[in-house]
Each structure stands twice: as C-alpha cells, then as structure tokens.
Chain A
C-alpha cells in the first residue's frame, strides 16, 4: 500500500477490500454480458430451428478456414493477455508492456480479418436490409442467417474494439510504471474481460461457420 498510495480510494478500508470489490464487480458485469449475448443466441437458435436447410446453405458464405485462423489469432491473444497479467503480478514493467502490445496487435489482426469477411459479404450481396440476393427459394430464410451473422459478429467486434481501447490505456499506464505487485487490479480485470470476449467467439465460430461442415 505504501508503494502506491494513489491507488486506494478513500471509501475503502484497504487495497484488499478495493480489489475484492473490483473483482466481484467485473464478474457480475460478465454475468450481465452472458445474458446480453444469450438473448441474441436464443434468437439465432429459434431461427435456425425454424429454417435448418437455409441456415446450412447460407453458412457456406462464411469460410471455415478464415474463421479458424481468426480463432487461432484470438486464442494466442488470450495467451499473451495471461502472460501480461502474470508480468503485472511480478511487477515486471518491460514484459508487461510487451505482452499488452502483442495482445493489442493480435486483437487488431482479428478485427482486420473480420472487416475483410464483412466486405466480402457486401460484395456477394448478402447484407439483409441493404443489398440482398440469395439463389433459390430459401432466400427469405437465409436472410435470417445473415441478420444473425451481422448482429452476433458485430456485437462481438464492438466488444473487441472496446477491449483494444482499454488495453491501450493499460499500455500507457504500464509504460509509466503504474502497476506494481501490490496494485495491478486493472490489468487482471481487463484480462478477465478479454478472455470473456474470446470465449464468446469460441461459441460464435461453430454456430456461424461450422453448421454444415460435416456433409
């Protein structure tokens, strides 16, 4: 505590209480996020249950290989994030800065690939409500696949953008040496958030890319 007195807010007894509160707060926030994504996943499940064939056909517009590469990128970013948390616990400034930077880069790679996939969808005229044409009688139902595709990946990408921004702030503060073995809660909690966003993608990838792969 004496190492970082600026870190303790005055309504807490000590840093331990402050850390307990912050950690519990982040976990509860992640619970609300589960419920938030849960709503759109239920909507997806219902639509796919009603139109299984159209969903299978429409899923061919999403390349499983690109999705797999992006999944690997995201899992690697989770590794670098975990290493960053570890470095912050030990108070190692340079490795912390390095791992945070690596996580940001990997996050940006994911977003760039996502942007490429989205633009591809625009070129193929499968953007419901904007420019949509789909061969065959199932066009109306396939539109529901793409609606959920954009809603779910868009929501996930938004969370990624927020995550990258948060990591950017952490990077600056880590550079200034603000995080010590006694006070590194922000790095830990941002790590929790980052892992959560990764896990969401682990669900989205099979739901959107792999539903017709076994045929």
Chain B
C-alpha cells in the first residue's frame, strides 16, 4: 500500500472554506451553499412530518386507538400530510440536489438568478414558519386537501395561517422552477448541447415546467379559500351559491402534477445512479429525456381521476381514466430503459446503487397500483381506503425519499468532500427497504379488505396488519436516523473523497470535491455525450484510502 500516492489532502480553496461565519451563509448567493441551507430546512420539516407519522402509527396499534382522541387524530394525519407534501417532498430533491448540481452539471458558475435563489430559500422558510405557527397554535384538521366547505366554514382549526404558509412557500417553488428553466436555456457550457445534458438536468427541466405552470394555480386557489373563510364568502360554499367541486378541480389541477414534481426528480437521481454503477451508456437516452417531458405534459390532464366519486360527469371520468393510463407509458419507458441499462452492465453494489435499485422496485409497485386506481370500477371499490394510502406512499416514500437518500449518498463526497462509512450505509439502506415494505405493504391488504383512511379507529380484524405496519414504521425510523447520524459524523471524520470517487461521467465530477466557489477553475468545453463510459478513458477508480475501497477496478487494466 505504501506505493499508493497519498490522495489529495492539502487544503484547497473551496466553497465551504472560502468564508466563515453565519452571515457568509445567510447572505450567500452561491447555489451550492443555498443547496445546503435547503438541506437543513427540508431535513427539519422531514422530522416534523415524521413526528406526526410516528404518532399516527402508535395510535393505530389497537382497534380503538391508543394515544389520542378522534379530533386530535384528524389533526395528526392532516399535519403529517401537509408538512410532508408541501415542505419536504415537493422541495426536497430540486432545492437540495437540483440547486447544488444543475449549474455544476451544465458547466455554469451559478444559477441564472443567484439572488432570486437565496430569496426563494427565505420565502420557503417564511412559509414554513407560518406552518409551524399553525401547528403550535393547535394545528389543523382539514386533511392535506383542504376541501371546502369544511375548510372554509366548519373547521375550528388554524386553516388561514396554514393556507397562507403554503401560499407563501409556493412562490419559492415558482422561483426555483423559473431559475432552473432559465439556467438550462441560457447558461450551458460550450459544447453542452441539449442532447448531451445529463438526464438529471432533463428531469429537473420537466419538473420546473410543472412548478411554473401548476404552483400559481394552487396559490390562487388557496388564496380564495382563505378569503372565503375570513370574509364568509361563497366561492366554494354551496349554501352560498358556490361550487365545492370547482375547488377540487383547481386543487387537483396542481396537486396531481405535484406528484410528478415529487417523482420526476427521483427519476432524475435514479438515472444517474443506474448508469454510473452499471458502467454503461444509458439505454435510449432520447426516450428517457422525452419521457420526462411527456410525464410533465400529460400529468396536467389527469387530475380528474381524484374525483371519480365526487360528482363529476361520467364521461369526464372516462376521459380522465384513459389519460391516466396514458401517463403510465412514459413512466414505463423509463423503467424499461433502466432495466435495459442494467442488462450486461458491470454492476457494483455501492450504497447509492442499492437506493437506485430500491427506487425502481418500489416505484413499479406504486405505479402499477396507480393503474388499479385509474380504472373506474376498481377505484370506486378502493377509493378512500388504505389501498390509496399504500399506493401513494410507495411513490412518495418508496420512490422520492429513496431516490433523495440515494442522491445524497452519491453526491455527498462532492458536497462535503468526504465519504460516508460504506458498510453502515449499506446496512441502513437495507433496513430502510425492509422497514418500508413492512410498513406499507400491509396497507395494500388493509385497503383491499375495506379499511377506510382517515379514521381514528378500525374493526378488530384489521389489528394484525396494523401492528405489522407500525412495527415496520419503527424499523423505517431507524433507517432514517442512521444516515442522519453518519452524514454528520462524516463531515468531520469521513475519509477524504477525491474529485471523482465512483467514477461518474458528469461535469460535476471534473471539478474538485468540494468544488471551488465558482465551480470550475476553467469553464469546461464538452466534447462527449452523457454517460459515455466506453470512450471516457480519463475515468479511473481512485486509489483506495483508509476507510474507502472502490467497488471494483474499472476500466480493466
């Protein structure tokens, strides 16, 4: 081992050590630092939402409920949903990984509007604080969907401040999406053509389209609910001449595409993980890129499948059902192309790859059960049951959170300059996968057998499956706390990572880890396609260092 040259350990100037102090972070316009600020914020909201999830699962240990009364239970699942959806799942990957990586991947010095980027972080936190204020004042109980007239007339909880919080946080989404779109259009390095963009960037481009087109609609919708509640007006209230189904149309016009805001960035991460750890070109680059855009576009025309039993016209339901089937096509294209990429690949089982493979499996489960729900007859049977709960948790938690954690592991060496402990990380990934399936698979069965969602008690025959689910949730919690602990540990004690520890093909791996403040010493000129492993002879596995052993030797000597 003595022949191995020491890995670069000398102190290089990078975005983390270029300046110190609280204000150098709170007033930064560096997209990398803003990504880390978002990491702190969304992690906080993840644990707030997780706290409510814990209470829900503990409560459902027994048929009559162990922990809280019925009204409090309503608040628990509402605040779990609102915090997780609006303050973790929607922002998580785009604002943390997207912020950090999009400029690096296209060879830019920063996003197009750095000050706007910082402003969006403050706006997000302002909205989040209002949300926390609503929680502290006693919470809200409308369900995360805020259906009127319950939300505007009957609920005695803090609807207005919560709605205002989401309204404000929405502008952070809009500004982030706008920033990404402009950056991808105007800031690409020489030679970085649209056909050479990493698919991470393509997916974030598609996500940004939804941010920009969808978020203003939820903003005005929730504003109208707030106005209706404050002034006792009748926009959505049937007793005053309004139309409650109109709210559902407006709400789901955003909130269904919002599901693709959550899962498209997950697909973005997964594409990077699968190619890097198969050491192969992505199968069907153009199809995967176009599938991202197709999901974003078709996703805007399927919202009515949330309203099959809400009194919309039967013919509308049929059209929405067919359109919902259509959105499965680009999703399936992605899954097939990942699988084809794995085929005869040189697969290594690094931690990020475990998350990537976990994403594919769980996303397929979530997606296929989504087809059950877009079928009119089946949906009437399982509507508002735990089947729906299990379905969207497979997409949101099994898909998005898995990909988010996989991406954090994959780019952690780039963000922090250090490796996480590989053995422990693999263990945590497996724990997460087992815990997740034990939590949510029983809920498919529960829903199919007829257990309704949002009830604080249930028939005694459902208890076994509910206890299984709660046991799984406790395993899941361990799986979330472990990465949190060892990431913090690794920031100080982790082995030093070289610029390209995997090695990956993106531009982000050409610069130092952590990158310098302006990302690249010299603006790169791109002359190769994305994921061009066979022709990238410059990529070598780094020498092993104490605590970090590369997964295999590639390319072969």
Which A positions have Cβ atoms within 8 angstroms of B?
9-11, 17, 20-21, 24-25, 28-29, 31-33, 35-40, 42-43, 46-47, 50-51, 128-130, 140-141, 143-144, 147-148, 151
Tell me the bound Cα distance from A50 to B235 in angstroms.
Answer: 12
What residues on B are CB-neighbors of A29 within 8 Å? 178
Q: Is the CB of A40 within 8 A of B220?
A: yes
Q: Is the CB of B185 within 8 A of A36?
A: no
Contacts A39-B250, A47-B243: A28 and B234 contacting too (C-beta < 8 A)?
A: no
The stretch among B108-116, B157-165, B403-411, B468-476 that forms the contact with chain A is B108-116
The stretch among B208-216, B452-460, B549-557 that forms the contact with chain A is B208-216
- For residues 204 through 235 of chain B, which have their beta carbon under 8 Å from a beta carbon of chain A? 212-217, 219-221, 224, 227, 230-235
Q: Is the CB of A17 within 8 A of B235?
A: no
Tell me the bound Cα distance from A206 to B234 in angstroms.
Answer: 23
Tell me the bound Cα distance from A29 to B109 in angstroms.
Answer: 23
Q: A24-B181, A31-B213, A35-B214 are in contact. List 9 more A-B contacts (CB 8 A).
A: A24-B186, A28-B182, A32-B178, A32-B213, A35-B212, A35-B217, A37-B220, A42-B246, A147-B235
Q: Which residue from chain A places its CB closest to the CB of B211 in the assembled complex?
A: A32
29 CB contacts below 8 A, A to B, read A11-B110, A20-B186, A21-B187, A25-B113, A25-B179, A25-B182, A28-B178, A28-B212, A29-B178, A32-B178, A32-B212, A32-B213, A35-B212, A36-B216, A36-B219, A38-B216, A38-B217, A39-B220, A39-B250, A40-B224, A42-B246, A47-B235, A128-B233, A130-B231, A143-B234, A143-B241, A144-B233, A144-B235, A147-B234
Minimum CB–CB distance from B178 to chain A (whole Å) comes to 5
Specify which of B179, B232, B241 is in contact with A51 (CB 8 Å cutoff). B241
Which of B185, B216, B518 has its CB near the most chain A CB atoms (within 10 A)? Answer: B216
What residues on A are CB-neighbors of B234 within 8 Å? 128, 140, 143-144, 147
Tell me the bound Cα distance from A141 to B233 in angstroms.
Answer: 11
Contacts A17-B187, A28-B181, A46-B246: A33 and B216 contacting too (C-beta < 8 A)?
A: yes
Q: Is the CB of A21 within 8 A of B182?
A: yes
What residues on A are CB-neighbors of B216 within 8 Å? 32-33, 35-36, 38-39
Minimum CB–CB distance from A44 to chain B (whole Å) comes to 10
Minimum CB–CB distance from A148 to chain B (whole Å) comes to 8
Q: Is the CB of B242 within 8 A of A47?
A: yes
What residues on A are CB-neighbors of B518 within 8 Å? 11
What residues on A are CB-neighbors of B246 within 8 Å? 42-43, 46
Q: Which residue from chain B places its CB closest to the CB of A128 in the assembled complex?
A: B233
Q: Which residue from chain B places its CB closest to the CB of A147 in the assembled complex?
A: B233
The total of Cβ contacts below 8 Å across the A-B interface reads 108
Does B9 have its Cβ within 8 Å of any Cβ on chain A?
no
Q: Is the CB of A140 within 8 A of B241?
A: yes
What residues on B are CB-neighbors of A143 within 8 Å? 233-234, 240-241
Tell me the bound Cα distance from A174 to B246 in angstroms.
Answer: 46
What residues on B are CB-neighbors of A33 within 8 Å? 216
Which of A25, A38, A40, A151 has its CB near the most chain B CB atoms (within 10 A)? Answer: A25
Contacts A11-B108, A28-B212, A47-B243: A151 and B232 contacting too (C-beta < 8 A)?
A: no
Q: Is the CB of B174 within 8 A of A32?
A: yes
Tell me the bound Cα distance from A41 to B217 in angstroms.
Answer: 11
5 A-B pairs with least C-beta separation? A129-B231, A39-B220, A36-B216, A35-B216, A11-B109
B side interface size, CB within 8 A:
40
Minimum CB–CB distance from A79 to chain B (whole Å) comes to 29
Minimum CB–CB distance from A60 to chain B (whole Å) comes to 19
**Chain A proximity mask over B443-471: 1 for CB below 8 Å, otherwise 0:** 00000000000000000000000000000
What residues on A are CB-neighbors of B231 within 8 Å? 128-130
- For residues 234 through 254 of chain B, which have their beta carbon under 8 Å from a beta carbon of chain A? 234-235, 240-243, 246, 249-250
Q: Is the CB of B217 within 8 A of A36?
A: yes
Tell me the bound Cα distance from A186 to B235 in angstroms.
Answer: 38
Minimum CB–CB distance from B224 to chain A (whole Å) comes to 6
Tell me the bound Cα distance from A18 to B370 in angstroms.
Answer: 43
Q: Is the CB of A35 within 8 A of B241?
A: no
Q: Which residue from chain B places its CB closest to the CB of A24 in the assembled complex?
A: B182
Tell me the bound Cα distance from A140 to B174 in angstroms.
Answer: 36
Tell me the bound Cα distance from A32 to B182 in angstroms.
Answer: 14
Minimum CB–CB distance from B145 to chain A (whole Å) comes to 16
Tell me the bound Cα distance from A143 to B186 in angstroms.
Answer: 48
What residues on B are CB-neighbors of A31 within 8 Å? 212-213
Tell me the bound Cα distance from A32 to B216 in angstroms.
Answer: 6
Tell me the bound Cα distance from A148 to B233 in angstroms.
Answer: 10
Specify which of B186, B214, B215, B240 is in contact with A21 (CB 8 Å cutoff). B186
Tell me the bound Cα distance from A46 to B250 in angstroms.
Answer: 12
Tell me the bound Cα distance from A43 to B222 in angstroms.
Answer: 12
Q: Which residue from chain A places its CB closest to the CB of B114 in the assembled complex?
A: A11
Specify which of B186, B219, B242 is in contact with A17 (CB 8 Å cutoff). B186
Contacts A35-B217, A39-B217, A143-B240: A25 and B227 contacting too (C-beta < 8 A)?
A: no
Q: Which residue from chain A places its CB closest to the CB of B215 in the assembled complex?
A: A32
Q: Is the CB of A50 within 8 A of B213?
A: no
Tell me the bound Cα distance from A11 to B214 in angstroms.
Answer: 29
What residues on B are CB-neighbors of A141 within 8 Å? 241
What residues on A are CB-neighbors of B109 within 8 Å? 10-11
Tell me the bound Cα distance from A124 to B224 in angstroms.
Answer: 24
What residues on A are CB-neighbors of B214 within 8 Å? 35
**Chain A proximity mask over B110-124: 1 for CB below 8 Å, otherwise 0:** 101110000000000
Q: Is the CB of A140 within 8 A of B217?
A: no
Q: Is the CB of A25 within 8 A of B217?
A: no
Contacts A11-B114, A31-B212, A32-B216: A144 and B185 contacting too (C-beta < 8 A)?
A: no
Tell me the bound Cα distance from A38 to B186 in angstroms.
Answer: 28
What residues on A are CB-neighbors of B181 within 8 Å? 24, 28
What residues on B are CB-neighbors of A9 within 8 Å? 114
Minimum CB–CB distance from A155 to chain B (whole Å) comes to 8
Tell me the bound Cα distance from A38 to B181 in angstroms.
Answer: 22
Contacts A17-B187, A39-B220, A151-B224: A129 and B241 contacting too (C-beta < 8 A)?
A: no
Q: Is the CB of A151 within 8 A of B227?
A: yes
Tell me the bound Cα distance from A28 to B227 in angstroms.
Answer: 27
Minimum CB–CB distance from A204 to chain B (whole Å) comes to 15
What residues on A are CB-neighbors of B113 within 8 Å? 21, 25
